Amino acid sequence: MIALRRTRLCAVTVVAVAALTVACGADPQAETVHAGREIRGQLELLRLVVTADRAEVPPVPSLSVTVRDAADELGAAGKDVGELTDDRARAALASITDRAVAVAHRLDEGLGDGTDEGLDAIDAELQGLVAELARWGVTS
């Protein structure tokens, strides 16, 4: 009798966990925020590079590698975005990702002779992309 109860309890638990997993996985808003967070993290990382004290931190190879790595990570995040179930969110985040990758590449090319004005313009673009993500609920 006890064994039967245990079996039922286990079955109910498994079904509940499965249902919860499916429910969580199917929440479009949660999916969007999850995918957006990775993009936002890389945008903030690029902002850290751009807003560094330019007298103290000249364009050394390590920063170029950081920017290239960020571009790679954004590319990987783009794949997650492609799996979003909400069509509008997918299109918006894909657009943001594409523009972020483009900015990262420009930044990589511009680090060597980056003027203050150029870097400030890139920072403004990055801030704009972060603001766009915020409109989709990606705020942290």
Partner 1 sequence: MSKKFLAVTLGILTAVGGFVDIGDLVESGVVGARYGMAMVWVTVLGVLGICVYADMSGRIVAVSGRPVFDLIRERLGPRMALVNLAGSFLITLLTVCAEIGGVAIVIELASGVDRLVWVLPIGVLIWLVVWRVGFERMETGFGLGGLAIGVFAVAVFFLHPDWSSLGAQVAGLAPPPDQALPTYAYHAVALFASAMTPYEVFFFSSGGVEEGWTVKDLSVQRANVLLGFPLGGLLAIAVMACSAIVLFPAGVDVSQVSQIVLPVTLALGTAGLVIVLIGIFAATFGAALETGLSSGYMLAQYFGWDWGKRRAPRKAARFHLTVGVGLLVAVLVVQTGLDPVGLTEISLIFSAVALPLTYLPVLIVANDREYLGKHANGHFSNIVGVGMLVVIAIAALVAIPLMIFTGAGQ
Cβ-based neighbours of 26, under 8 Å, separated by 6 or more: 85
Nearest-angstrom CA–CA distance, 138 and 140: 6
10 binds partner 1 per the rule CB under 8 A: no
Using an 8 Å Cβ cutoff, are 77 and 97 in contact? yes
Of 7-15, 37-45, 86-94, 117-125, the segment contacting partner 1 by CB under 8 A is 37-45
Q: Which of 11, 14, 19, 65 binds partner 1 (CB under 8 A)?
A: 65
Alpha carbon distance 75, 99 (integer Å): 11
Tell me: does residue 57 bind partner 1 (CB under 8 A).
Answer: yes
Nearer to partner 1, 77 or 92 (CB): 77
Give the binding-site size for partner 1 (rule: CB under 8 A). Answer: 25
Strand stretches in the chain, DSSP E: none
From CA 93, how far away is CA 109, in angstroms rounded? Answer: 24
Q: For partner 1, which residue of 16, 26, 69, 115 counts as binding (CB under 8 A)?
A: 69
105 binds partner 1 per the rule CB under 8 A: no
What residues make contact with partner 1 under the rule CB under 8 A? Answer: 37-38, 40-42, 44-45, 47-49, 52-53, 56-58, 60-66, 69, 73, 140
